[in-house]
Structure 1
Amino acid sequence: MEWKQLLSAERSRGTSGKMRVNRSTDLRSEFEKDYHRIIGSASFRRLQDKTQVFPLDKSDFIRTRLTHSLEVSSFGKSLGQNIGENILAYKRDPDFTPRMKEDICNILQCAGLIHDIGNPPFGHFGETAIREWFEKHLSELRFKGRPVAEALTPQMREDFYNFEGNAQALRLVTKLHYLVDEHGMNLTYALLNTIVKYPVPSTGIDKSSGNIKDKKMGYYYADEEIFEAVRQATGAEGCRHPLTFILEAADDIAYKTADIEDAFIKGFLSYYQLRNELEELQKKCGFGENEDKFNALEKLETLYERGKMRGEQSPEEYAVKNWIVKVQGFLISCATFGFTSNYEQIMKGTYCNDLFHGTFGEKLMDLLGDMAYRYVFTSPQIYKMEVTESVIINFLMDKFMAAAVKYDNPEEKLDSIDKRMISFVSDNYKSCYHSHSRGRSETEKLYLRLLLITDYICGMTDSYAKRLYQELKAIF
């Protein structure tokens, strides 16, 4: 893969990606224009009312999808600066230019903003609830006397069984943001390829391959055409785009450190529990014995003592919050090293791991994720919230999917409730459905109608999904 092609500024709608030769005073690059398209979109604004970890939380401190996305955007740009400068300084690629470094930073900044834009309400559990609904109920829906699961092709069926927020993000920005036409936000192909973490269809998932790119699906059958156009334009050829590794590292840094900070603030994790966990890590791994390593335990203890000397009301809070900042800086260095030390493999498309693999930060990242799971995600409080969310998602899926099978189907008649359910669906999404279903087979139309409902539900914020459920259940 070559950077000149990887950084393709081509778009779906009528542009070669080259600057127009005129007297325009707009001196922004194509990737800087992407940034403004994203910031001004309703889909991006909705992230302010979508869960990151704590569903329907009323605290103004706890992170939302919006604040998380801003953090990922910031980390992504920082990593782009580090890595771009390293490529230039060590002449890793004679064709790599300072302008390319600038483009990388802008692309990663944009990618951070939209990497979670397709996620449904209620965080990752919302994805799980939707997947499980399809596993349980897709065969119960009937189309022309047959179970819907049998009427669909294998890839269509697997798309629903493996429903994925990452694939939904590509769909949303390329089709569902129906502002001008069917091309969505019409973002550059380099940016679109960067957010495709898994460049395989639902039928290509292979969790046993050992290659990180095969873990989940990256695009729906409905969006295969745009994926192929992006792949060919950027020259990725079925491999991960190099910037995807950087985006994923930025995401990992953001959520793994934020989960610990949020858990501390919410009282799930204490300073002393964090200290004990780090102590155990050091005993197991010798973590911090080498002066080149980041001594996480020593940093935390030093910050705690500094907090006491400063007379902080809570030296524990002072220590944890400042420790998070130190850890983030360390992990940025680790991810930079992970990319630059595996540069040739990444550019050949043969690198199979994340950027923390084999670095000093790998064990710390593993611990942060494990702590979040043990102290937060498996806690009774979170489990109760997730059960509530499941009830909401299941009810909405039941009602809307039953109507969707009959919608735009001359052989079926919508009853009074079905008509009302379809009327609730965004006119924007229905316009998108009619645009893309024109001339399609009955099977494809059925598939697109099911996607119409997942599109609509994924576009809901947490509070809207809850409010709609309460209104439809007559809970006042």
Structure 2
Amino acid sequence: MKWEELLCDKRRRSSAKKKGKEGLKDLRSEFEKDYHRIIGSASFRRLQDKAQVFPLDRSDFVRTRLTHSLEVASFAKSLGQNIGESLTIRQRDDICSILECAGLIHDIGNPPFGHFGETAIREWFTEHLSELELDGVPLTKLLSPQMQEDLYHFEGNAQAFRLVTKLHYLIDEYGMNLTYGLLNTIVKYPVSSLAIDEHSGDIKTKKLGYYLADEEIFKDITSSTGAFDNRHPLTFILEAADDIAYRTADLEDAYVKGFLSYGFILEQMEALEEGAREQDFRPGSVLKDLYTRCAGQKLGNPEEYGIKNWIIRLQGYLINIATENFTQHYDEIMAGTYKEDLFAGSFAGKIMTELGRIAYDEVFTSQAIYGMEATEAVIIDFLMERFVTAAVKYDTGVHMNAIEKRMITFISSNYKRAYHHHGQGKSSEEKLYLRLLLVTDYVCGMTDSFAKKLYQDLNGITIDTI
């Protein structure tokens, strides 16, 4: 792979370069234009009401998908500046712009209620798709194997790719019409649902990267960038930025919410130091030093000061390690043969694993979170059942009852317009598949609050009981 191709500024719909009122050209690069398209979009704004870890939380401190995405964009841009030092100034600037934009949209396709929303949608299709029929014929006999696997392996990353290429249907069918270099960067797993292999040892086959409905666009983009079925090199940087952001932020949010104490975190980090080398970052010692400094200078709450400033130090260390590993494995990454993330084999990787373990054991599997997720599952299951039942019959001539007709009216006209456009000339099988995606498109476009309110309204619940 070559940077000259990887930093492809082509768009599906080309736009003529226009001069301003005073005859001045727009001096922004194509990737800088992407940034303004993203932050001005309704899809990006909705991230402010989508959960990172704590759905429907009333605190003004814990992260939402919006604040998380801003943090990822910041880390990704910093990493881009580091890895671009050996390239031309223009290439470095383009890399930074692409990574900043990729950070903003990497979660833009995620459904309400955090990652549990993804799980709930996958499980709904796994449990109910075989029960559904159209005019007496089971859907599993109408849909191809890949269509079914797309639904069983529903994935927020693939949905993000779909949203920005097709569903942001305000002007035309090209979505946000972003540059190919950016679109390729957000595809973390460049494989179809039939090629998923969690045990291959290659990170790119871990999950679904694109739906069958979007395969043609995927191939057009990746052939233009020269990445083809390989991960775009900048995807490794985006993933590292995402990992740094959520692993450290989840810990901080959990501390603020009272799930974790300073003493517990210190104990876990000190135990981790037993495997550190002299040159490695020492998480326990750094945390204790920061606590002691605050206590000695009476700067406030030494535990809170220690945790928050320790996280900043840790983030800086992780950025440095990701930079070093990208440089160390540069030839493999550019050849498409590197199979791991940018923390693999390092002490930083052990820290990241430990942060993930702590979050899982102490937060994600806690009774409080399980209680939230049980409520969220009821909401998602109800919405999926009502909308899928209606969408299966929609646009077929098969009789729809009064409720099914009304459910279709709830779906955004933008999404329905996109369905009709992309369904032109398609077979009945393909259109059925697109109608099922129409439901996931609509549900994924919902914010946490909207999903909750729609559930309440459809069930005649007029007070805030959820």
Residue aligning to 1:271: 262
CA offset digits 1:161-204 (Å, max 9, x no partner) = 00000000000000000011000000000000000000000011
Q: Distance in 2 between matches of 1:132 and 1:434?
A: 27
Does residue 107 in structure 1 map to residue 72 in structure 2?
Answer: no
1:439 aligned residue (425, 429, 433): 425
Task: Specify the code of the residue in structure 2 equivalent to 1:51.
Answer: A
Deviates more, 1:194-203 or 1:311-320: 311-320
Query: 2:28 — aligned with what?
Result: 28
Unmatched segments (≥5 aa) in structure 1: 89-95
In the TM superposition, 1:6-405 aligns within 5 A as: 6-15=6-15, 24-85=24-85, 88=86, 96-283=87-274, 285=275, 287=276, 289-290=277-278, 292-405=279-392
Residue pair 2:270, 2:285 contacting (<8 A) in 1 also: no
Equivalent position SS for 2:131: coil
Please tell me the residue identity of whatever aligns with 2:109.
Answer: G
Q: Distance in 2 between matches of 1:131 and 1:146?
A: 22
In structure 2, give the amino acid aligned to 1:374: D
Q: Which amino acid in the other structure matches residue 139 of structure 1?
A: S
Encode CA deviations 1:361-400: one digit per residue, 9 max, x unaligned.
1111111111110110000000000000000000000100
Aligned-residue RMSD, C-alpha: 1.2
Q: Secondary structure at the match of 2:369?
A: helix
Identity %, equivalent residues: 64
SS at match of 1:239: coil
Say if 2:415 and 2:442, in contact at 8 Å, map to a contact too.
yes
Amino acid at match of 1:428: N
Question: How many angstroms does 1:149 deviate by?
Answer: 1.8
**TM-score normalised over the length of structure 1:** 0.95
Distance 2:454 2:63 in 1: 23
Q: Secondary structure at the match of 1:353?
A: coil
Deviations along 1:10-61, one digit per CA (max 9) or x if unpaired, are 000035xx96799543100000000000000000000000000001100000
Residue 242 of structure 2 aligns to a residue in which SS?
Answer: helix
Structure 1 residues 216 and 365: CA distance shift in structure 2, 3 A: same
1:461 aligns with 2:435: no
Contact 1:334 1:360 in 2 (8 A): no
Where do 5+ consecutive residues of structure 2 fail to align?
Answer: none
Check whether the contact 1:296–1:327 (CA below 8 A) recurs between aligned residues: yes
CA contact (8 A) 2:185 2:234 kept: yes
**Given that residues 17 and 26 in structure 2 are in contact (C-alpha distance below 8 angstroms), is that contact kept between their aligned partners in structure 1?**
no
- 2:351 and 2:62 mapped to 1: Cα distance? 23
Aligned to 1:138, the other structure's residue is in SS state helix
**C-alpha contact (below 8 Å) 1:260/1:372 kept by paired residues:** yes
Q: In structure 1, give the amino acid aligned to 2:349.
A: E
2:361 and 2:425 map into 1 onto residues whose CA distance is 51
The Cα of 1:359 is off from its aligned counterpart by 2.3
Separation of aligned partners in 2, 1:45 and 1:251: 19
Once the two structures are TM-superposed, the CA of residue 360 in structure 1 deviates from its matched residue by: 2.8
* Aligned partners of 1:198 and 1:217 also within 8 Å: yes
Aligned letter for 1:337?
E
